[in-house]
């Protein structure tokens, strides 16, 4: 599978399932998980050297966008990406993007600075972080399910666990600390 990811990588360093001939730009959503998988696979198998070029190309895709900005006009690509989410599922946000780029060893790049600054500003006074938005619904919320507008393959939008909607989120806090520590922007001591 790792060899397939390398083979399917787009010229700009990311990935995209868009098969239209005029498509020429990778998708943030569709590039993050392949980068994460390739990074972890390379580390787990001791083949980091084999995949380093592909991993760096993917990181470069995110970093040239400063993790959330358009290359062409410098504007925020999607405001939702500046909010923190857990679980993120397949969605992109600055925390998830920063986490994966940090796992690939590239979060110290100066182009990540603005995203890290935003992440630090989201920190609560008690030192923790909380979600800014959600992609999930509480169990038994009466919402979700499989309305007739859904196709058979689409999952219900109700989770089996309540991830918490008020106050800080332990997983967002953990991931933010991981990113900031990797970037040399936070110390636990």
For every one of its 189 residues, what pLDDT tens digit does the chain have, with 9 covering 90 and above?
899 999 999 999 999 988 787 888 999 999 999 999 999 999 999 999 999 999 999 999 999 999 999 999 999 999 999 999 988 888 899 999 999 999 999 999 999 999 999 999 999 999 999 999 887 766 666 554 444 454 544 555 566 666 667 789 999 999 999 999 999 998 664
Number of folded domains that form the chain: 2
CA pair distance 17, 119, nearest whole angstrom:
29
Among 13, 31, 64, the domain boundary falls at 64
Burial 38-70 (b: 16+ CB within 10 A, else e): bbebbeeeeeeeebeebbebbbbbbbebbbbbe
Among 27, 49, 64, the domain boundary falls at 64
- Residue 49 DSSP class: H
CA pair distance 189, 177, nearest whole angstrom:
12
Q: What is the pLDDT of residue 46?
A: 96
Containing domain of residue 41, as a range? 1-64
> Do 54 and 145 fall within a single domain?
no
């Amino acid at each position: 599978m790792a060899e397939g990811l390398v083979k399917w990588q787009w010229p700009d360093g990311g990935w995209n399932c868009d098969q239209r001939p005029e498509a020429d730009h990778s998708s943030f959503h569709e590039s993050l998980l392949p980068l994460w998988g390739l990074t972890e696979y390379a580390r787990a198998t001791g083949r980091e050297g084999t995949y380093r070029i592909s991993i760096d190309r993917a990181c470069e895709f995110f970093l040239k966008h400063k993790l959330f900005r358009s290359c062409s006009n410098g504007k925020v690509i999607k405001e939702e990406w500046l909010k923190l989410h857990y679980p993120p599922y397949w969605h992109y946000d600055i925390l998830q993007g920063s986490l994966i780029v940090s796992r690939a060893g590239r979060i110290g790049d100066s182009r990540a600075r603005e995203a890290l600054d935003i992440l630090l500003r989201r920190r609560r006074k008690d030192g923790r972080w909380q979600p800014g938005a959600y992609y999930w619904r509480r169990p038994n919320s009466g919402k979700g399910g499989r309305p007739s507008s859904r196709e058979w393959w689409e999952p219900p939008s109700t989770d089996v666990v309540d991830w918490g909607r008020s106050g800080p989120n332990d997983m967002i806090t953990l991931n933010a600390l991981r990113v900031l520590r990797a970037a040399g922007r936070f110390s636990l001591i």
